[in-house]
Amino acid sequence: MLFWALLIYGSSTSSFGSTQTSRFFIPFMHFLLPSAEPTTLDLLHEIARKSAHFIDYSIFGFLLFRALRAPHQGWALRWALWAVLIAGTYACSDEYHQSFEAGRGPSAMDALLDTTGATAAQVATWLVLKDRKQVAPADS
């Protein structure tokens, strides 16, 4: 979990800003889609960047859940809520960190997307464990 948090922190530097990632992503997508318009390639770049937010924080949310429930098994609402709260707080602090990076800036929408990713991880975990009858009652 700590490793993933550090990975997220590292990707918040100016090295991973939109200008930097577009230098690699756009030519690669142009190679895959040679007839695509520049605006289409820009849109695909933006979708990829926002998807990375969601996926990174989904993984982070799942790792937080696992850390919070240890050494127990199953799923409980309190572990899921704490995981989302911690991930959301980390997302906000990460956006704040970006305000100090050249070429980066804070975005409340990105923090919301990050928190949504962490929430999605809790729902997915609940769905998987529900079928295995490992979901604890809400008051546990």
Structure tokens at 33: 């889609």
Residue range 1-20, pLDDT digits in tens: 899 999 999 999 888 888 88
36 occurs within a structural domain: no
pTM: 0.89
Structure tokens at 19: 């200008």
119 occurs within a structural domain: yes
Looking at the predicted structure, is the pLDDT value of residue 140 above 70?
A: no
116 occurs within a structural domain: yes
Residue range 28-65, pLDDT digits in tens: 999 999 999 999 999 999 999 999 999 999 999 999 99
Which residue range(s) make up the domain with 75?
2-15+50-131
Partners of 135 in the beta sheet? 75
29 occurs within a structural domain: no
9 occurs within a structural domain: yes
Looking at the predicted structure, is the pLDDT value of residue 117 above 70?
A: yes
Give pLDDT, residue 139.
45
Going by pLDDT thresholds of 50, 70 and 90, the confidence category of residue 137 is: low
10 occurs within a structural domain: yes
122 occurs within a structural domain: yes
Could you give the number of structural domains in the chain?
1
Helix axes 38-69, 77-98, angle to 10 degrees: 130
